[in-house]
Every structure is written in C-alpha cells, then in structure tokens.
C-alpha cells in the first residue's frame, strides 16, 4: 500500500503494482481454465483474486481499464448494435457439396492447375481444419488489448458485439509477446453440444422456448442486446485466421504459413482446435475428411464439414480470389444434421421413471449420417409450443450421439393451431393412470415397477456399460425376458438358467451361455456402479461416486437421513430427498438385499465410513501451504468426513486451517474471531476423540 500523510491524515493510495499483478494472475488463470482446461488453482482461489481486484477497482474507478478481467460483464443493454466496416472483408469459402472423396480431389486438381504444377511436382501442402458450425467473428486487438468484436454481417460490414464477446472466458482480453500493433483474429464462436443440451434442458424445465440447434443458440447469444443475458449463454471460440494486421515498429513478423499463423495465435492464448493438421496432397485431405467424419458424432461441438487451405501464404497470394471466394481454400461438407420429413404419427414411450415421451414417427430420412424414423418431441408442452401436428412436414435434427429430435415445423406453424395429439389418460403399456404433478412439465405413468416398460428400462439401466456392465443384455433380449415374464425384478436376472434363456426366440445356446457369463461377471462390481445401476431418480454416475466416496458403505447410504445426505458434495435437497425416499421403500430395500444375496458384491471403503459424520455441519477454510497435505488432499479429507470447505472466511466459518504464508484469510479469521488451527490440529479433528 502506498500511504501518504496528507494534512496529517493517513490516506492510502492504490497499489498499482498489486493491481497489475492481480490482473496478470487472473489473465493467466483464465487462460488455464477456459482455453487449456487445466486450472492450476481452485475456483475459490480465483474468486478470491477476482474479488480483491474488484475491491481495488471499486475504490479507484479511474483505474479500471477495458481489458481488466472484471470488465467481462457489466455493460448496459443496447438499443441496437453499431455497424462496423471491416478493415479487411470477411469472405466466405467455396463449398464442395459432394461429400465423397472427389471433393478433395477436385480442389487439389484446381490448385495444381492454377499453380501450373505438373505430375512430377511434389504434393501441395495444405492445412486441414474442422468447419465449425457457429458464427464467424472478428476480434480486434490494438497494442495487445482487445478493443472490438464484430460479426461477419454481409462480409463488408458487420455488427459491433464487443460487450457480448467480452463475456466469453476463452477470448483473451489482453495478449503479449511480439504482438503486432493491430491484430485482427478471425474465428468461429460456437456453443458446445453439452452446453447446448444443458441450456435447452433448463429452458425445458422452465417450460420456456428451446433453441433449435447450438448454432442458433450461439447466434442468439452473440446478438443479444443485454450482455448480462449473453453472459449466461455459454459460448466458446476457435481461431482460424487473421484479418487486418499492422506490424509494430519493433518489427514483429507473423509466420509465413497458415499453420504457423495458427500456432502463433495459440501461443498468444487463442483456442486452437486440436483437430487442425497439415496434409500433403489430395490423399491426405481425403484421409482427413474420412477420419474427422468418423469422429464427428463424438466431438463436443457441431461441425458441418472440414476446410482445406493451402499452407504457404505466398502460394495463397498467388492463387488469389474469384469473386468473393479465395482459390486457396475450400469447405468439404458432411451430410446435414438437419433434414425435413413428414411426421406420420406420434407414439408415446414410457421411460424408466415412468415419464411419457411423445415420439414422432417419421417418413424415413437420412440425417447426420443415418436413416432416422423416430424422433423425440420431449413433452406435450414443447410439442404444443412448436405447434406440431401429425401430418406436418417437420425439421429433424440428429447430432452426435444425442437422440434425434423434432426441432420445428416447416414452413411456418399454423396460425390457428389446433393440436391433433393428446396425452393418453392411461399408460399405453400397463394401463395405469397417467398423472402430471403440479408444476411438473412431464406426464408420468403411475404404475411403477408394475409397468413392464419401466421394468424393462430399469433392467437396461442396471445392465448398461457404465453401471453393472452386462454385455449382451440389450433391448431386444430384455423385451423378451420381461414380456415372457422370465424376469420380473432385477434379482431375477441372477436366477436365469441356460435352458430358460436358450428357449427364447433366436437365442442359440452359445449366445445364451455368453449372456449368463456376462451376468456372472457383473457380480463383481464397485459401489458407485451398483448405486448408479439402481436407477434412483437424480442419481447419475457422478453423484453415485460422491455418495460412495462419502459414505464408503452401502448400508450407511441406505440409513442416511436427508440431512446426512446433504453433506455429500453436489447433493442438494431434491437429490437428498430422492435417495432417502428410494431407500425408505421396503420393496427397494428388498431388491438390494436380494441382489446382495445373489452374490452381487463390491469392496466397501471405510476410510470415509469410519468417520462419516465427524465434521458434519462444520465449515472449513484452508489458507497458506500446509506442511504435508496439499490443499486438495485436505479438502478431500474434510469432505469425506462430512465437512464443507469454503473459499472465503465469514462468521459462519468453523475453522480456518492455516499453513505457511497464510494471507488475508488469516487476518480476516482473526478479525472475526474464527478459530485458527494448523494441519496437525486438523488431522486430530479428523481422527476424532481418542
Ligand atoms: S476460413 C477466406 N476456416 O465458414 C476464408 N472458415 O464460408 C475465411 N468456418 O463464415 C474463412 N470453420 O464462419 C474458415 N476452419 C475454418 C472455418 C470457417 C468454419 C465458417 C466461417 C465462414 C464460413 C466460410
């Protein structure tokens, strides 16, 4: 702190070095977290640094700069976006619509012809990149500071969306190290598939409008006039080129290849896709098209093709442009992920939890690389909001391993919509009443395990790879086993005999034996797998792991009160209640007991179980470096014993665990009178009374 004696009073001025150090640290950690996905510090520590910076800036608003990490959100809603003329036009690329190998061959042949190469000349070197399915964006940096983001618009003029783009953690606000005076980075802003699903599920739960696809959701977020709303829409970014570049006086020179350029951008902190690669000649382009095509479904984001670019910038210059398209680049497409088709009917499917899902029956359509005949309509309300009617032409989307869905009606929904589909009053499978609880979006069958559909789903859920992993126990077999009443409950699975199985349709003795072997093998499992396999509502894989880690033993979980369950990481009141209710039901306990007596077993941990609740209800803050334990280890141990670890000290903090070089948290603890302990004391607490 710089302090000065002014008229006899002590006035503290801002510590500029501290301010700069905080900003640098935050820039560094944002890059580790958002771009590299390798955080070096806990979130709470990041928050602490952030708040420290915020506090200094609040006291001295004149020191706030546009590239400060605190300025990512905070702009006011706009009435409209300003237009910006691009310094260098944003062009589009020629598209090879033919999805076969010839797309790459044609391009390579054209490039070779233009460059007057003959057969004896070596292959042309290309860069092969994914064609991200988002929106093109121009990011302008002046003297290393992010000053403006613009959309492509018509290629000549775009819109100033700086406020919204600032909220994207992956976009650096400041770059350094031989950066040109003016640098425009071009790339694609997009929404990851998982972020898109989460966003849509959230919208669905709230009964609000869902987005058609990640691209539309991203476009909506980028063009959102209120940056506070934009900040809640999770966007990502990949760099693929540059726009205007004005070198610095110091003479910074950019690399002379497309690949070198991308690597340089990466080293300045821009996200670069790991799928970008160098390819020699047409054969390697074709191989790339095929390889990325095979990976397409499992990528975390949508792509609609790949892009090939001549690597040497000198050759790019020689090739030049035709009208608005460069001769040195081409986009090579994949089959579209959205198609139109006629909806010929709506079926109702019953899920594991009894949820009724309207499913569109479609005229077969080739979409996202497969032929689709069914697509989900999610729920009655979504179907109505989209104004879908049987007989309509609809848009079907299939992307990644997500189940195909109907995303809209073509051309426009009916102005006077009269639905021609209604939820059945009784379950189409078991005839039990269909109910919809107050405030719930979904209709459910009230039949529980009496309902064959729910039983089938429960068995499939139990047998899936990530649960008990019974290989070969697929949908068709489960259908038969349940329909013929060979299996009524989960434990029946372990009472199956060879003759019973082999008697089923098409079940040869050999494959029956394979299934029996797989069932036998599944008996040796782990507690998290078993817990997940039980299909308790709201208990996914991650929660099952946390429960197992926290309690160690199944019995402890079965007996846990909702309060005790709440102590588990990431378990909130709804999940705690759901687990408690599940194990409170006699028939569920019975199923568990029978499975155990059929030989299903796992190793029970007891580290956590030995002292499950020793620190329940206590909140710890860890600060400084401890002599033996890392902070993560200390946190794990506290959490395993039922305690909570917080990032900042408050009156509610039970203990501050302080190590060497403990900073402001220690001061705060002392100021608030919170008990401060050392590592040895913590270990003693974990051990419990002698
Ligand atoms: S390069 C002059 N590379 O495709 C070449 N574009 O029609 C400028 N796109 O609007 C574009 N992935 O939004 C390039 N790896 C990639 C791309 C890519 C997606 C989009 C971009 C542009 C459109 C080109």
Indicate which residue's Cα is closest to atom 6 of ligand 1. 131
Task: Count how many residues are written for the chain.
Answer: 690
Kindly state the tokens that stand for 590: 């019975």
Cα 155 to averaged position of ligand 1 atoms, centre (Å) = 12
Question: Ligand 1 centroid vs 93 CA: distance in angstroms?
Answer: 6
Question: What pLDDT, on a 0 to 100 scale, did the predictor assign at position 555?
Answer: 95
User: Measured in angstroms, how far is the CA atom of residue 72 from the centroid of ligand 1?
Assistant: 26
Q: Determine if ligand 1 sits within 6 Å of the CB of residue 152.
A: yes
10 vs 659: which has the higher pLDDT = 659
Give the residue whose CA is nearest to atom 7 of ligand 1: 92
406 alpha carbon – ligand 1 mean position (Å): 28
Distance CA 522, CA 493 (A): 11
At the topology level, CATH places domain 94-333 in D-amino Acid Aminotransferase; Chain A, domain 1 (3.30.470)
Q: State pTM to two decimals.
A: 0.72
Q: Which atom of ligand 1 is nearest to the CA of 130?
A: 15
Between the ranges 91-100, 409-418, 440-449, where is the mean pLDDT highest?
Answer: 440-449
Report whether CATH 3.90.550.10 matches the domain 338-410.
no
Residue 611 has pLDDT above 50, yes or no: no
- 132 close to ligand 1 (CB < 6 Angstrom): yes
**Residue 93 Cβ < 6 Å to ligand 1:** yes
| Mean pLDDT in residue range 40-50 | 84
Structure tokens given for 357: 């899902």
Residue 152 CA: which ligand 1 atom is closest? 10
Max CA pair span of the chain: 99
CA of 197 relative to ligand 1 center, distance in Å: 25
Q: Residue 535 and residue 466: Cα distance in Å, rounded?
A: 12
Query: What beta strand segments (E) does 57-117 contain?
Result: 83-85, 94-96
- For the CA of 241, the nearest atom of ligand 1: 1
Among 91, 136, 259, 289, the mutation site with the greatest number of ligand 1 atoms within 8 A of its Cβ is 136
Ligand 1: does its nearest atom lie under 6 Å from the Cβ of 137? no
What separation in angstroms does the CA of 169 have from each of 68, 70, 222, 549? 12, 11, 14, 32
Instruction: Quickly state the pLDDT bin for 12 (edges 50, 70, 90).
Output: low
pLDDT for position 671: 84
pLDDT tens column, 212-225? 899 999 999 999 88
Task: Identify the band that residue 640 occupies on the pLDDT scale cut at 50, 70 and 90.
Answer: confident
Q: Is 243 in the pocket of ligand 1 (CB under 6 A)?
A: no
Distance 276 CA to ligand 1 centre (A): 13
The pLDDT of residue 6 is: 38
77 CA → ligand 1 middle, Å: 29
2 pLDDT exceeds 80? no
Tokens of 33: 């977290």
Give the pLDDT confidence score for residue 657 in this predicted structure: 93
Confidence of residue 11 (pLDDT cuts 50, 70, 90): very low
Q: Are 304 and 332 in contact (CB under 8 A)?
A: no
- Pocket flag, ligand 1, residue 272 (CB < 6 Å): no
Establish whether residue 92 lines the binding site of ligand 1, counting it when its CB lies within 6 angstroms of any ligand atom: yes
pLDDT at 608 over 70: no
Query: pLDDT, tens digit, for every residue of 526-565?
Result: 999 999 999 998 899 889 989 999 999 999 999 999 999 9
Write down the pLDDT at residue 609: 45
On average, the pLDDT of the chain sits at 89
The residue whose C-alpha atom lies closest to atom 13 belonging to ligand 1 is 136
pLDDT at 612: 56
Domain 448-606 annotated CATH 2.60.120.260: no
For residue 266, the CA-to-ligand 1 centroid distance in Å is 17
Range 5-71 classified under CATH 1.10.287.610: yes
Q: Can 249 be counted among the known catalytic residues?
A: no
Distance 94 CA to ligand 1 centre (A): 10
Mutation probe of ligand 1 site: the residue of 86, 92, 95 with most atoms within 8 A of C-beta? 92
CA distance 222 to 137: 10
Pocket test for ligand 1, best of 90, 275, 308, 331 (most atoms within 8 A of CB): 331
Q: How confident is the model at residue 7 (pLDDT cuts 50, 70, 90)?
A: very low
For the residues of 474-527, what is the DSSP string, one character each? -HHHHHHHHHTTS-SSGGGGGG--HHHHHTSTT--HHHHHHHHHHHHHTTEE-H
Contact 237 CB / ligand 1 (< 6 Å): no
pLDDT computed for residue 41 by the predictor: 81
Output the residue whose Cα is nearest ligand 1's atom 17.
131
> Residue 136: CB within 6 Å of ligand 1?
yes
Tell me what pLDDT residue 358 has.
97
State the pLDDT confidence band at 587, using cuts at 50, 70 and 90.
confident
CATH fold for the domain made of 611-687: Rossmann fold (3.40.50)
- In short, whether 307's Cβ falls inside 6 Å of ligand 1 is yes
Model confidence at 8: pLDDT above 80:
no
Strands 444-445 and 524-525: unpaired
| Cβ of residue 91 lying under 6 Å from some atom of ligand 1 | yes
> Torsion over CA of 342, 344, 345 and 346, rounded to 10 degrees?
-20
Sheet holding 303-310, edge to edge: 94-96, 329-333, 303-310, 125-132, 277-280
Per-domain residue ranges of the chain: 5-71, 94-333, 338-410, 448-606, 611-687
pLDDT in tens, 246-296: 998 877 689 999 999 999 999 999 999 999 999 999 999 999 999 999 999
CA of 137 to the centre of ligand 1 (A): 10
Q: From atom 2 of ligand 1, which residue's Cα is the shortest distance away?
A: 91
What lies within 8 Å, CB to CB, of 689 at 6+ separation is: none
Per-residue model confidence as pLDDT tens digits over 125-164: 999 999 999 999 999 999 999 999 999 999 999 999 999 9
Residue of 127, 240, 244, 272 to mutate, ligand 1, most atoms within 8 A of C-beta? 240
> So what's the pLDDT on residue 130?
98
pLDDT at 378 over 80: yes
Is the peptide bond prior to 411 cis by the omega test (within 30 degrees of 0)? yes
Atom of ligand 1 nearest to the CA of 136: 13
Q: Which amino acid residue places its CA nearest to atom 12 of ligand 1? A: 131
First to last CA, the chain: 47
pLDDT recorded at residue 556: 95
pLDDT in tens, 506-530: 777 788 899 999 999 999 999 999 9
Q: Do domains 5-71 and 611-687 have the same CATH topology?
A: no
Q: How far, in Å, is the centroid of ligand 1 from the Cα of 186?
A: 9
- Which is catalytic among the residues 76, 131, 249, 668? 131
Q: What is the mean pLDDT of residues 574-584?
A: 91
Is the shortest distance between the CB of 305 and ligand 1 below 6 Å? no
Question: Could you tell me if 648 and 628 are in contact, meaning their C-beta atoms sit under 8 angstroms apart?
Answer: no
C-alpha 129/C-alpha 401 separation (Å) is 22
Q: Is the CB of 129 under 6 A from ligand 1?
A: yes
Q: Residues 208, 213, 218, CA angle at the centre, nearest 5°?
A: 85
Residue minimizing CA distance to atom 3 of ligand 1: 240
Residue 550: strand, helix, or coil: helix
Which candidate, 282, 306, 283, places its Cα nearest to that of 294?
Answer: 306
Mean pLDDT of 588-604: 93
Tell me what the mean pLDDT of segment 58-71 comes to. Answer: 89
Residue 118 phi/psi, 5-degree rounding, is -115, 180
């Amino acid at each position: 702190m710089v302090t000065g004696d002014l008229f006899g009073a002590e006035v503290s001025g801002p510590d500029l070095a501290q301010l700069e150090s905080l900003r640098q640290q935050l820039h560094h950690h944002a890059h580790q977290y958002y771009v590299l996905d390798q955080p070096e510090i806990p979130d709470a520590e990041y928050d602490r640094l952030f708040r420290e910076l915020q506090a200094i800036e609040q006291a001295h608003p004149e020191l706030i700069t546009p590239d400060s990490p605190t300025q990512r959100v905070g702009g006011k809603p706009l009435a409209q976006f300003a237009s910006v003329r691009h310094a260098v036009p944003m062009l589009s690329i020629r598209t090879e619509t033919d999805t076969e190998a010839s797309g790459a061959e044609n391009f390579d042949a054209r490039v070779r012809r233009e460059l007057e190469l003959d057969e004896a000349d070596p292959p042309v070197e290309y860069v092969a990149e994914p064609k991200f399915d988002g929106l093109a964006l121009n990011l302008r940096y002046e003297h290393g500071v992010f000053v403006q983001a613009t959309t492509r618009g018509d290629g000549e003029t775009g819109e100033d969306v700086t406020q919204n783009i600032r909220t994207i953690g992956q976009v650096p606000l400041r770059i350094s190290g031989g950066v040109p005076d003016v640098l425009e980075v071009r790339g694609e802003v997009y929404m990851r598939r998982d972020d898109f699903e989460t966003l849509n599920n959230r919208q669905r739960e709230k009964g609000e409008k869902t987005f058609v696809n990640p691209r539309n959701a991203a476009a909506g977020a980028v063009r959102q006039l209120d940056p506070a709303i934009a900040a809640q829409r999770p966007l990502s970014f990949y760099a693929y080129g540059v726009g205007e570049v004005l070198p610095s006086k110091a003479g910074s020179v950019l690399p002379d290849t497309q690949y070198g350029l991308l690597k340089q951008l990466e080293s300045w902190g821009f996200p670069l896709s790991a799928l970008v690669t160098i390819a020699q000649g047409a054969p390697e382009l074709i191989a790339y098209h095929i390889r990325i095509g095979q990976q397409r479904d499992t990528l975390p984001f949508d792509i609609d093709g790949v892009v090939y670019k001549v690597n040497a910038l000198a050759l790019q210059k020689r090739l030049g442009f035709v009208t608005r398209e460069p001769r040195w680049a081409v986009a090579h497409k994949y089959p579209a992920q959205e198609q139109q088709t006629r909806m010929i009917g709506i079926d109702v499917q019953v899920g594991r939890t009894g949820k009724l899902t309207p499913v569109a029956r479609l005229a077969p359509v080739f979409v996202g690389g497969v032929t689709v005949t069914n697509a989900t309509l999610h729920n009655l309300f979504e179907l109505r909001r989209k104004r879908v009617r049987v007989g309509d032409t609809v848009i079907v989307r299939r992307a990644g391993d997500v189940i195909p869905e109907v995303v809209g009606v073509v051309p426009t929904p009916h102005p006077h919509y009269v639905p021609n589909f209604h939820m059945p009053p009784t379950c189409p499978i078991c005839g039990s009443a269909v109910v919809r609880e107050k405030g719930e979006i979904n209709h459910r069958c009230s039949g529980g395990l009496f309902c064959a559909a729910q039983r089938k789903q429960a068995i499939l859920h139990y047998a899936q790879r990530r649960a008990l992993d019974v290989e070969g126990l697929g949908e068709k077999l489960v259908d038969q086993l349940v329909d013929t009443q060979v299996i009524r409950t989960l434990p029946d699975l372990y009472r199956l005999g060879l003759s019973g199985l082999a008697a089923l349709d098409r079940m040869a003795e050999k494959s029956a034996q394979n299934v029996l072997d797989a069932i036998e093998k599944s008996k040796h499992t782990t507690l998290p797998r078993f817990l997940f396999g039980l299909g308790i509502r709201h208990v996914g894989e991650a929660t099952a792991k946390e429960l197992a880690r926290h309690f160690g033993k199944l019995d402890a979980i079965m007996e846990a009160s909702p309060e005790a369950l709440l102590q588990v990481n990431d378990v909130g009141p709804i999940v705690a209640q759901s687990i408690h209710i599940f194990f409170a039901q006699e028939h569920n306990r019975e199923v568990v007991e029978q499975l155990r007596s059929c030989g299903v077993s796992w190793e029970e941990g007891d580290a956590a179980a030995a002292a499950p609740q020793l620190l329940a209800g206590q909140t710890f803050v860890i600060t400084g470096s401890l002599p033996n334990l890392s902070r993560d280890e200390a946190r794990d141990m506290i959490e395993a014993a039922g305690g909570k670890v917080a990032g900042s000290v408050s009156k509610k903090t039970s203990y501050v665990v302080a190590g060497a070089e403990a900073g402001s948290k220690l001061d705060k603890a002392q100021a608030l009178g919170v008990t401060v302990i050392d590592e040895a004391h913590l270990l003693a607490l974990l051990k419990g009374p002698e």
